[in-house]
Amino acid sequence: MNPEVVDIESIVAGGDGLARRHERPVVFVPRTAPGERVEVEYVEERRQWARARALRIIEPSPERRLPPCRHYDACGGCQLQHLRYDAQLRAKAGIVADALRRLGGLDVAPPEVVPSSSELEYRNRVTFTLKRTRGGVVAGLHAVEDPRRVIDLDRCPLAEPPIDRAWTTLRASWGSDAERLPPGRELRLTLRASQDGAVGLAIEGGTEGRGDPELLLERVDGLAAIWYLGPGGVVDWQVGPSALPDRWGAHDLLLSGSAFVQVNRAMAAKLEAYVQQQCGEVAELRAVDAYCGFGLRAIELAVAGAQVSAIDSDHHAIAVGRGAAVESAAQLRFIAGAVEDALPQEMPADLVLLNPPRRGVAGVVIDALLGEPPARIIYQSCDPATLARDLSRLAESFELQGCQAFDMFPQTAHVETVVTLAQRPRRKV
C-alpha cells in the first residue's frame, strides 16, 4: 500500500495517536502527537480500524519533544516519551474520559490527573527479560514493533538509582553467557529496591540449576537478596534474606520476590491520601477492603474505628498484613482467598474498597454488590476500559460521585484512576 498523509487528533488507550479517514476505518499511529500531520504506511488493516507506522512527521505538534531515553525509538517499555509532560497528563485525562463515556455510558469531563513528583527515576521495581542467543546474551525490554524481540539495555531512566546501579553491575558480573544466572534460553529478572536502597533480584524461568548466586551477591552493587520463583511466585530457593524490610507510609513491611506494591512511592502516598479522604468518617462502619494486598488501607480504616474485612489471594501479603496490624487487630480480620469467593460472604457492608488487577471485577462480585448495595464504593483501577465496563454494570444501584486520576507511570500510557460511587436513593414503592 502506498504511503498516505493523516492528521492526528488525539492519544488513545495504549498511547497511539488516532487519525480519522473519510469513509474508512480509523487509524492508530504509535509515537505521534495531537495536531501532527504525518506520512504513514499501513501495517495492519481491519474492518473497523487500521494500524500504521509513521514514516515522516510533516507538521510536528508543539506538544512533541526529544525523548529523554536514547533507546526510546526501539524500546517498547514507554509509549509517551515523545510528548511534553503536560501533554502526557492531558492525554491520560482524555483516555480515562473516553473510556468512561464510550464503554461506561457516563457523561463525564476529563478528570484531573495528579502529576508525578518525578518524570524519571521513579520505579522501585523493573522487570527485564534475558535471552541467550547464538550471538550472545541480550537483556532488556521488549521491542516496540516486535514484542518477541528484546532490546539490549544498559540502563532504564525510569528506574530508581539503586536499581540502575544494580542492573549495570549485574550485567558486568553475570559472565560471558550469563553463566552465573540459572541456565535456560530465557529468564525474567525483576529488580526491586526498598526505601533504604537495598535491592532484591527475583528470577523466573530457565531450567534446573542455580548458576552462582553467591558470587553475584558479592559483586552486584546494592544487591541484598536473590530469590528464584517457581510457579505461582513461590520461592524455590534464595540467597540472602527471604524478604527485604521496607516502609510504606507508617507501616513496616517485608517485601519478597513476588510481593506487590506500587512502583512509584511518591505517587502511591498521594493516592492513598486521596482514598482515605474519600472514605470520610468511618468510625463504627462495616468495611470490606477487597484485593487488599498488604492491607495497609484496611489497617488505617480499622485504626479509625471501622470494622474491616481485608481480602486477598496472596497468602504472603496477608501474612505480612497480619504482622503489621497489631494495633488494630480487634477491628480487622484478614482473609486469604479469592475475592470472588470471600466478598459475597462479607456483605452487607457500609463501605467497599476495590483495587482489582487489570482484568477488573468478576461478575459474582458485581452481583454481590448489587444484591446488598453498600452506601459507598471506592474503586481503584489500573485499566480505564475494565473500570468503565464495571461501572456500567454497577450503574443500576450506584452513581458516580468523584473521579480522580494519578500519573503513577510517567512516560507510559498507563494511568491509575480512583472513582467514588454512592448508592442511589431507593425508589419508594
In this structure, are 60 and 131 located in the same domain? no
d(CA 261, CA 247) in angstroms, rounded, equals: 11
Number of structural domains, the chain? Answer: 3
108 located within any domain:
yes
In this structure, are 285 and 244 located in the same domain? no
In this structure, are 187 and 49 located in the same domain? no
**C-alpha 167: how far from chain center:** 21
300 located within any domain:
yes
In this structure, are 41 and 144 located in the same domain? no
In this structure, are 214 and 291 located in the same domain? no
- Check which CATH number belongs to the domain holding 242 and give it: 2.40.50.1070
In this structure, are 132 and 237 located in the same domain? yes
Contact criterion met (CB below 8 Å) for 23 and 10: no
What does the H/E/C string look like for 141-190?
Answer: EEECCCCCCEEECCCCCCECHHHHHHHHHHHHHCCCCCCCCCCCCEEEEE
Contact criterion met (CB below 8 Å) for 131 and 137: yes
d(CA 114, CA 92) in angstroms, rounded, equals: 11
In this structure, are 168 and 291 located in the same domain? no
Examine the fold and report which residue of 221, 255, 289 is the final residue of a domain before the chain moves on: 255
Q: In what helix (H) or strand (E) does residue 7 lie, and over which residues does it extend?
A: strand 4-11
What was the pLDDT predicted at 327?
Answer: 62
Contact criterion met (CB below 8 Å) for 178 and 141: no
In this structure, are 275 and 213 located in the same domain? no
Q: Which residues are paired to 289 by β-bridges?
A: 310, 353
Contact criterion met (CB below 8 Å) for 359 and 386: yes
In this structure, are 288 and 236 located in the same domain? no
Contact criterion met (CB below 8 Å) for 141 and 167: no
pLDDT tens digit at each of 429 positions of the chain = 679 999 999 999 999 999 998 878 899 999 999 999 999 999 998 988 999 999 999 999 999 999 999 999 999 999 999 999 999 999 999 999 999 999 999 999 999 999 999 999 999 999 999 999 999 999 999 999 888 999 999 999 999 999 999 999 999 999 999 999 999 999 999 999 999 999 999 999 999 899 999 999 999 999 999 999 988 788 899 999 988 999 888 888 888 877 778 999 999 999 999 999 999 999 999 999 999 999 999 999 999 999 999 999 988 889 888 887 766 667 899 999 999 999 999 999 999 999 999 999 999 999 999 999 999 999 999 999 999 999 999 999 999 999 999 999 999 999 999 999 999 987 654
Cα Rg of the chain, angstroms: 23
244 located within any domain:
yes
Q: Which residues are paired to 216 by β-bridges?
A: none
342 located within any domain:
yes
In this structure, are 132 and 227 located in the same domain? yes
In this structure, are 301 and 408 located in the same domain? yes
Domain that holds residue 196: 125-255
In this structure, are 33 and 164 located in the same domain? no
Q: Using DSSP, how many helices (H) and how many strands (E) does the chain show?
A: 9, 22
- Grid cell in block for residue 407: 500519573
120 located within any domain:
no
387 located within any domain:
yes
d(CA 77, CA 143) in angstroms, rounded, equals: 8
DSSP 370-402: HHS--SEEEEEES-HHHHHHHHHHHTTTEEEEE
Residues with catalytic function: 382
Examine the fold and report which residue of 203, 230, 255 is the final residue of a domain before the chain moves on: 255
Examine the fold and report which residue of 255, 284, 307 is the final residue of a domain before the chain moves on: 255
What was the pLDDT predicted at 257?
Answer: 72
What was the pLDDT predicted at 208?
Answer: 87
